[in-house]
């Protein structure tokens, strides 16, 4: 405790008790007559000093913590209380000052403040990371088109995200309850879905189910739902939280894949049967094994060309021009123009296209061996057009060999190729064909009803029916 006299120059200390001397390390003789500023040192805050001087100048009481220094130079936090003392006439007589060493308290507060600041920074960092994590999760859910939802199991109150509502064909601003969700599920699948939810809750395992729904607009969708139930400490079911995903496109793709696999299996089986039928007829009519090998190889290549052509068109149709190009490609000579082709764009159904490829291949083979394509100046005219016969549209198709060797007579034996041309092709086109051996060259003509160009399509059974046609045409 100190008492200073403001009526003396520089407001000196006129009294100091023992506690003060113990606190500061100064003797009483060292402090009496001096101003208190000797307690200030390098760590004393000038702003704190200014506050003290201002209070003294205004003769007002002040209490504050200030850093002072002991005689040995060590610093301490001094909680100082300065009060003015007035006489009966209101004249200032003394200043009374008490000091308390609050260094430990202040150091503890400083440590606490540091810990507080550190914790605040950690909370801020974790909050920032949590926010970023939530944003990433939100983006991931949105990017994956996952709709999030929670179900309060105490009152069956459903809370859905906007994407979840859209998965069920609802707008984000529309109400959507658990009862609404159940009502959208197709009746035949509703009991299984509800039982699946019940099993997950009762057995404490995750819920996963796929079911079909009908949206308010009447659209049928496939929904995949996954969730996890949550329980109280006593094991009472509280809620479920999960996601939904519209998997309609995925299910349709899977169904299409299975359908295509089945169709491919069916087509491969039919293709093998067609190859077997052609091979049987070829071997039956071949004069030698070498001839059979050559002829069968050429016919397989022709069949492969027909397959390539129809595969490009997804087994729906092929134009006559495409058929002619596919059948004659291996016989064409660049720059020589062995084939003079012309006609309008007319589409043929798959079976007719396949039959025409094989028939034209047989005609081309014979022409290359014996006819117009066996000599340098020979060529084949292939043309077609649509004519009107008694009010019905028909295709008139012509193959005419020009410039080849003179045809002396009609072949004595009708082989596989001839019967393929005369029977199989005409049967597939439901028309009439004529193969004539004129002295100037072979001529093949065909008249057949014009297929409805808007309704041409194929089926997986086309090749099987074509194979049967080949087989029955040679019985």
Picking from 60-64, 304-308, 431-435, which range would have the lowest pLDDT averaged per residue?
Answer: 304-308
466 pLDDT band, cuts 50/70/90, is very low
pTM of the entire predicted model: 0.42
Q: What ranges do the domains of the chain cover?
A: 2-101, 144-246, 252-473
Give me the half-sphere count of Cα atoms (radius 13 Å) on the Cβ side of residue 277.
Answer: 22
Nearest to 262 by CA among 408, 50, 96, 459: 459
Q: Per-residue pLDDT tens for 106-127?
A: 888 888 889 988 998 888 888 8
CA separation for the pair 96, 206 (Å, rounded)? 76
CATH number of the structural domain 144-246: 3.30.450.20
CA separation for the pair 357, 348 (Å, rounded)? 11
Using CB atoms within 10 Å of the CB of residue 396, give its burial: 0 to 12 exposed, 13 to 18 middle, 19+ buried.
middle
> Spelled out in words, what is the top-level CATH class assigned to the domain 2-101?
alpha beta
Compute the chain's Rg from CA coordinates. 52
Q: What are the start-end ranges of the E strands in 183-219?
A: 207-214
- Over 50: is that where the pLDDT of 209 sits? yes
pLDDT of 465 reads 47
Instruction: Compute the C-alpha angle 347/432/403, nearest 5°.
Output: 85
More confident residue, 388 or 425: 388
- The tokens for 153 are 């199991």
Q: Is CATH 3.30.565.10 the right assignment for the domain spanning 252-473? A: yes
CA separation for the pair 339, 381 (Å, rounded)? 6
- The tokens for 222 are 């496939």
- Over 50: is that where the pLDDT of 361 sits? yes
Q: What are the start-end ranges of the E strands in 44-165?
A: 62-69, 75-86, 92-101, 146-152, 157-160
pLDDT of 425 reads 79
Contact, 433 vs 451, CB < 8 A?
Answer: no
CA separation for the pair 401, 444 (Å, rounded)? 9
Give the chain's mean pLDDT.
83
Nearest to 473 by CA among 465, 300, 47, 7: 465
Mean pLDDT of the region 223-234:
93
Same CATH topology for 2-101 and 252-473: the answer is: no
Please give the backbone phi and psi of residue 441, each rounded to the nearest 5 degrees, phi first. 145, 165
pLDDT of 474 reads 41
- Over 60: is that where the pLDDT of 472 sits? no
């Amino acid at each position: 405790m100190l008492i200073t006299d403001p009526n003396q120059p520089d407001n000196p200390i006129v009294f100091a008790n023992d506690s003060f001397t113990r606190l500061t390390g100064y003797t009483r003789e060292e402090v009496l007559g001096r101003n208190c500023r000797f307690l200030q040192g390098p760590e004393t805050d000038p702003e704190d000093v200014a506050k003290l001087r201002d209070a003294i100048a205004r003769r007002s009481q002040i209490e504050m913590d200030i850093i002072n220094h002991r005689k040995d130079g060590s610093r301490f936090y001094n909680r100082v209380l300065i009060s003015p003392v007035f006489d009966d006439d209101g004249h200032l007589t003394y200043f009374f000052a008490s000091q308390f060493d609050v260094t430990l308290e202040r150091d503890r507060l400083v440590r606490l403040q540091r810990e507080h600041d550190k914790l605040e920074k950690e909370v801020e960092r974790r909050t920032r990371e949590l926010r970023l994590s939530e944003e990433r999760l939100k983006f991931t859910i949105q990017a994956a088109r996952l709709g999030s939802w929670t179900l309060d199991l105490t009152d069956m109150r459903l809370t859905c995200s906007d994407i979840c509502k859209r998965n069920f064909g609802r707008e984000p601003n529309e109400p959507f309850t658990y009862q609404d969700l159940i009502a959208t599920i197709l009746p035949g699948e509703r009991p299984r879905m509800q039982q699946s939810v019940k099993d997950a809750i009762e057995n404490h395992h995750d819920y996963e189910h796929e079911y079909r729904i009908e949206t308010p607009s009447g659209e049928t969708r496939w929904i995949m739902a996954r969730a996890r139930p949550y329980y109280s400490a006593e094991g009472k079911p509280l809620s479920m939280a999960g996601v939904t995903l519209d998997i309609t496109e995925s299910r349709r793709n899977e169904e299409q894949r299975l359908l295509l696999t089945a169709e491919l299996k069916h087509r491969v089986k039919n293709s093998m049967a067609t190859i077997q039928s052609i091979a049987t007829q070829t071997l039956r009519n071949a004069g030698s094994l070498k001839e059979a090998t050559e002829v069968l190889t050429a016919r397989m290549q022709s069949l492969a060309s027909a397959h390539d052509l129809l595969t490009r068109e997804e087994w729906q149709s092929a134009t006559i021009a495409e058929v002619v190009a596919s059948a004659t490609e291996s016989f064409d000579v660049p720059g020589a123009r062995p084939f003079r082709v012309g006609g309008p764009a007319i589409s043929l159904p798959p079976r007719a296209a396949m039959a025409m490829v094989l028939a034209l291949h047989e005609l081309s083979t014979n022409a290359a061996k014996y006819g117009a394509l066996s000599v340098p100046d020979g060529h084949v005219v292939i043309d077609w057009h649509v004519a009107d016969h008694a009010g019905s549209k028909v295709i008139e198709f012509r193959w005419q060999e020009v410039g080849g060797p003179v045809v002396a007579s009609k072949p004595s034996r009708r082989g596989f190729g001839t019967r393929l041309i005369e029977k199989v092709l005409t049967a597939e086109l439901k028309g009439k064909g004529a193969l004539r051996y004129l002295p100037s060259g072979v001529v093949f003509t065909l008249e057949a009803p014009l297929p409805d160009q808007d309704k041409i399509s194929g089926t997986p059974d086309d090749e099987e029916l074509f194979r049967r046609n080949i087989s029955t045409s040679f019985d």
